[in-house]
Amino acid sequence: MIIRRSWYELLKGETEKQYFKNLQNFLSEERAHRTIYPSDENVFSALNFVPYEKVKVVIIGQDPYHEPGQAHGLAFSVQDPTPLPPSLVNIYKEIEDDLEIKCYKSGDLSRWAKQGVLLLNTTLTVRKGAAMSHQGKGWEEFTAKIIELLSRRAQPLVFMLWGSHARQFESQISAQHLVLTAPHPSPLSAYRGFFGCKHFSKCNKFLIEHNMTPIDWH
């Protein structure tokens, strides 16, 4: 697992802590006996796509997809030609209604990441077929540090917090940033306020007001 230099320098202290060493030992044991997603080289894809200083938008997920061909290190994103998961279908629906555009059919969101959208799960690995199987092993402490580092940035960012899991970070985010909250886009909750939240137009309006290039959400 390799972390891009700009992030590595900021997170080096975390990787030297005992909890992170325990986490690495746990992952080594898991990979020796089970199938783990995403692949080792993709665990830090969210960080490696977007250098720290180029993050403009943060979308927080929970843990990676746990079925073959799905997880590749970006929250809500799936590798082609994997069918779109229900939550991503609903995200695209809200984008299309909000911005009056048509989203690409691909579920690979690296096109957003390349523009400065950090698609960060709070748990970065999962056992095949077992959702949330790597929670409580140390990832949450590591990703909380990432959110803390982003919150410290003087340059304003947009945080999209969908669902109760993501909203737990709301109180940790400094006032210069735009925090957008809504129910999770899953079919179980999207109709309770995710649809119609207009986060994508609000995000771009904020970026433009702060002299940043808006995101192409196609």
pLDDT in tens, 148-183: 999 999 999 999 999 999 999 999 999 999 999 999
> Do strands 158-162 and 178-182 pair parallel, antiparallel, or not at all (unpaired)?
parallel
pLDDT at 123: 97
Alpha-carbon distance of 167 to 106, in angstroms, equals 27
Alpha-carbon distance of 75 to 113, in angstroms, equals 10
Average pLDDT over residues 16-31: 97
Where would I find the H helices in the chain? 5-15, 18-33, 45-49, 86-99, 110-113, 139-151, 163-167, 199-209
Q: What is the pTM of this model?
A: 0.96
Catalytic machinery residues? 63
pLDDT at 157: 98
pLDDT in tens, 100-149: 999 999 999 999 999 999 999 999 999 999 999 999 999 999 999 999 99
Alpha-carbon distance of 175 to 27, in angstroms, equals 36
Percent pLDDT > 70 in the chain is: 100
pLDDT at 4: 82
